[in-house]
A and B are shown apart, each in its own frame.
Chain A
Amino acid sequence: MSDMHWKDLKETDFGVLKTLADQWGSYIGEVTAQAEIITEDVVKKHLSVENFESETADDVRHQADLLADSLQDDLHEYAMVKIKATLEDAHDELVECQAQLFDLIDVVTGEYRFEGGSSDPYVVVSDGHYERIAALDVTAALMERAGVDQSDFASDFGQNESRERLIQTAETIAGELTEVLKAIMTRAHNSDDEAAAVLKSVVDTPAEQPPPLGATYDDLIEEYEKADAERNRDFLYALASDESEATAGGVNDWWASLTDEERTALIDSHPELVGGLDGIPSDTRDSVNRDLLDASIPNLEDKISALETQIALMEEGGSPYGSYENADMVELQADLAEARARLDNAEALQAALANGSDSGAPLLLVDFDLSEDGNAVVSVGNPDTAEHTAVYVPGTTSDMQGIDGLISDVSVMQYDADKAGNGETAVTLWLDYDAPDGAYPTHNGGVDPEAWHTDQALEARSGLNSYLEGLSATHDGESHTTVLGHSYGSAVVGATAAEYQIDADQIIDFASPGLMVETADELSVGGDDVWSTRAEGDVINAAVLTGALGADPTGEYYGGNTFDADTIGGNSIDIHSGYLKENADDEPNRARTTMAEIITGQKD
């Protein structure tokens, strides 16, 4: 436990932590190079199959690979994450605490002094300050705070009363400074203790290292590989849990550190966790998720068939049968309805994927969930390799039954962007939230439609932020990312960008009821990179006027950029859904043209 005294915080050069972190960084790089020498020079070169071929040679090469892998895993887990990163974090915190202490020392110098031990520091009025108060030689600030005026010194009585008030005020200030000192020291102790806890945790249940060559090696290596696989599985579970604090970037680092065999083993054993994890490359998730989707359909059909049979038997005989013998009819009917809804969602998604994109670019099934209204993240083009990436969040009534149309929408955007040139573009449909079911005041039999509320946008924030962070981590090299929202989807985008420093360069909103902020500068991409449009006659104008989801993004004082949108559609509702449709009489759709320019970085 930290016993750091305020004098220690003042006098210690915490720069040694940063210097040491840098030394660990160099060390990690140099030792990693040694691990690579084993792989490249020993396994691939000197001990290549041409030079050494037998079962023993295979085992030796395998052992050498295991040694290199385990060293690199160790370097990442212990040296990088637990030692180097902890030293850096502790340095940043303690230097900040030290700076606060120096500021406090500047304030108190000459008038107050620090006392007490590491656990109970406090500030008292200095002897010199008491003497100056006795001589009524004090600062104007103290006199003002004490409510004392120069004219009070005219009489002995006034001088004595002033001294008492000045002393009382000085001691009150000492009490206030004590609270500041305690807060600084508490923060310093906490950061010291937290860093110490992480450093000490390196000895907690360390992973096994590969066994040495010798007697019983065959048995030991089998046990080692089994334990290693279990460790990877446990880590995958931890990353996928709701309690996980790992970032998508951390997931990507971990995934990259695994061998091909380890990745394959995890995909085989837990495809549902791999397919849903932000930070894993999009093409891997696509492959895993397509297999899961394909498997879900016959599984759901079998389940529905079993439930139907069970219900029919119950209806005929009036008594329970089979595996559902403890279930009552209501429960079975609910299970059946849920299974049918899931099957409908699965079939809708599979059909949409089979239809492909309008632009001909490949579709990647990045994520999906068949429950309730159904969710899916589908990319037109590979977002990890495209030069420009756009993430589109659709709005009210979006669900799996409309997935085909939603994929068509992103296909249009992807086609437009590709046509605009300036490099390859991928556009992702991000429907990984519970979009409102209604926007009109007939929902729930009253005047309270879901789309007038912020709840679903707020719920969606962490998921969208995680996806964008994952995209940044999985992208090859520098990425240029635009996040778009239509209608309520723009409220999701805005709420996310207001809460997080999102991994996107710019925001486009169209047909927006508001982005849940009052000005564009509240969005983490900055007001200069927010682009908004709304067509004349769009029904969303009614929602904008309520201000329920924030200020009008096309308004004069919003602070972002606006661009033109044509009115496409015969009535206000059709206009709301017409932004991505073809314009009449072969006229260009100005909103689409501008969005393509923004997405491809050609609009300043």
Chain B
Amino acid sequence: MSGADVFTMAPEKVHEAVEVLFGVEAEVDNLTTGIQTDTEGVASVLADAQCAIGEALKTASDFWCVQRTMGFTGLVGNLGEYLAVCAEQAVEIDDFTAHDFATLADHDRYPGRAAENASARPDW
């Protein structure tokens, strides 16, 4: 761990990290949408053939694509949004709230991005 009194940051590098994280978030979402569509097609064929695997495949795919992957991409987005705020203003992790990305981040740098991941956490 770095010392509590040490704080150095290259904001541009942090912004670059944010862009990578948002890119990962989008790419995983995109890839997952594709596999979910492919899987649903096969699940439907098998369900029509009275195979138990049809419905089960849909269950597994929904779990993976909706719960696990969206959970992951949500966390990646959350991390990116926190870093986007950090690049502008120091915010402790425990103090990060839903409004911070919307109000503090440089939105010219991340156009069109709503603060959907930050808003997943309430303003406790």
Contact = CB atoms under 8 A, between A and B. Distances in A.
Contacts of A118: 50
B103 interface: no
A337 interface: no
Given A54-B7, A199-B60, A214 B93 contact: yes
The 3 closest A-B pairs by CB, nearest first: A196-B56, A215-B124, A196-B52
27 contacts: A8-B51, A17-B42, A24-B35, A34-B31, A38-B24, A38-B76, A46-B16, A52-B10, A54-B2, A55-B3, A60-B83, A60-B93, A67-B75, A195-B52, A196-B56, A202-B63, A209-B75, A212-B120, A213-B93, A213-B121, A214-B93, A214-B94, A215-B96, A215-B124, A216-B94, A217-B94, A218-B94
A17 B39 CA distance: 9
A187 to B, nearest CB: 14
B75 A41 contact: no
Interface in B6-34: 6-10, 13-14, 16-17, 20-21, 23-24, 27-28, 31-32, 34
Interface residues of B, number: 67
B87 to A, nearest CB: 10
Contact of B52 (A2, A5, A20, A31): A2
Contacts of B120: 212
A51 B50 contact: no
A53 interface: yes
B28 A31 contact: yes
Contact of A47 (B3, B17, B75, B90): B17
Contacts of B59: 199-200, 202-203
A63 interface: yes
Interface in A46-73: 46-60, 63-64, 67, 70-71
Interface of A: 1-5, 8, 11-13, 16-17, 19-20, 23-24, 27, 30-31, 34, 37-38, 41-42, 46-60, 63-64, 67, 70-71, 74, 78-79, 82-83, 87, 90, 118, 192-193, 195-197, 199-200, 202-203, 206, 209-210, 212-218
B79 interface: yes
Interface of A is mostly: helix
Contacts of A82: 60
Contact of A1 (B8, B21, B52, B63): B52
A2 B95 CA distance: 52
B4 A55 contact: yes
Given A50-B10, A67-B72, A209-B75, 4 more contacts: A17-B46, A19-B42, A46-B16, A67-B75
A192 B24 contact: no
A219 B28 CA distance: 28
B101 to A, nearest CB: 11
A199 B13 contact: no
Contact of A42 (B7, B8, B20, B96): B20
A2 B96 CA distance: 50
B68 A60 contact: no
